[in-house]
Amino acid sequence: MNLCDINQIKLLLARHGFKFSKDLGQNFLCDDQIPAAIAEGAGITPDTCVVEIGPGIGALSAQLCKRAKQVVAVELDRRLPAILNETMAAYDNFTLVEGDVLKTDLPALCKEHFGDALVIACANLPYYITTPAITALLECGCFDRVVVMVQKEAAQRICAGPGDKDYSAFSAQVAYFAQPEMILDVPHDLFIPAPKVDSVVLRLDAHKTPVTAATRKEVFRVIRAAFANRRKTFANGLCMEYGKSLSKAQAEELLTGLGFAPGVRGEALSLADFDAIAVKLKEMNG
């Protein structure tokens, strides 16, 4: 069947007595170009192993299976395996794992299904888990690339840089792991049911080597200090984060020593700046 044809989707869902769950962020793609464009944009080749999050009824899964070596999909809704059994029957490289991606041991899943092969994560993410899901996919260190469809505003926040109004702690944290790029706009009327907002496909290419000298914990602590209170200067934010171990005078001296104004705001600084500050803080604290 054509998994992108809205009339065929409606018939399939009615036959299975399936009703969409808003709580599970269920907006299924019903367009015959977008699933293929996502799989193409993800750069999937016949050697690629893929982890998909939330296959739904399989619109994207089918396009992934057509291009990839193997696709393992994690789906939380226990009503969907019966439908996927039917819609994905033609693809012997598709494996369904029932569960919550946020509670899944992703390194163990990749190891079990793919050994040491390079893996790409691909998903039309349910909006309600955008931040924790992207964090989990990047933090686990299993994926060469993460390609996810998210709400347009979320994509803009993730891709924002210093000085942009959408720049946030999460933008800097994502930059620690990967290079983000918006690769495809997806209008809201290409889903059933149609959400109120448009989406964007985001491609996150994981850095092959670390881009900071300080550790993740050290850099993320500085990022937290930068964005915890946007009305305060960064020097004040650092004092609040580091407590008694850093006076305001020391914080300002540290910043000026690195060439920043003493009253600089955290949102004006890049990941490289946060790294330089983390390194200096480590030197100061021995």
The site for ligand SAM (CB under 6 A) is made up of 24-29, 53-56, 59-60, 74-77, 100-102, 124, 126, 129
Min separation Cβ 114 and ligand SAM, Å: 18
Residue with smaller CB distance to ligand SAM, 29 or 120: 29
Residue among 13 and 24 whose Cβ is closer to ligand SAM? 24
Q: At 249, list the tokens.
A: 């005078």
Q: Are 158 and 182 in contact (CB under 8 A)?
A: no
Residue number with CB closer to ligand SAM (60 or 174): 60
CA distances from 277 to 43, 149, 272 (A): 36, 33, 9
Q: Which is nearer to ligand SAM, 196 or 217 (CB)?
A: 196
Q: How far is the CB of 42 from ligand SAM (least distance, A)?
A: 13
Only one residue has tokens 């996810």, namely: 148
Shortest-Cβ-distance residue relative to ligand SAM: 54
Of 11 and 261, CB closest to ligand SAM = 11
State in angstroms the smallest separation of the CB of 130 from ligand SAM.
11
Cβ 134 vs Cβ 146: under 8 Å = yes
24/211 with CB nearer ligand SAM: 24
Name the minimum Å distance from CB 125 to ligand SAM. Answer: 7
Shortest CB 55 distance to ligand SAM, Å: 5
Peptide bond into 126 cis (omega under 30): no
- Closest contact distance (angstroms) between CB of 116 and ligand SAM is 25
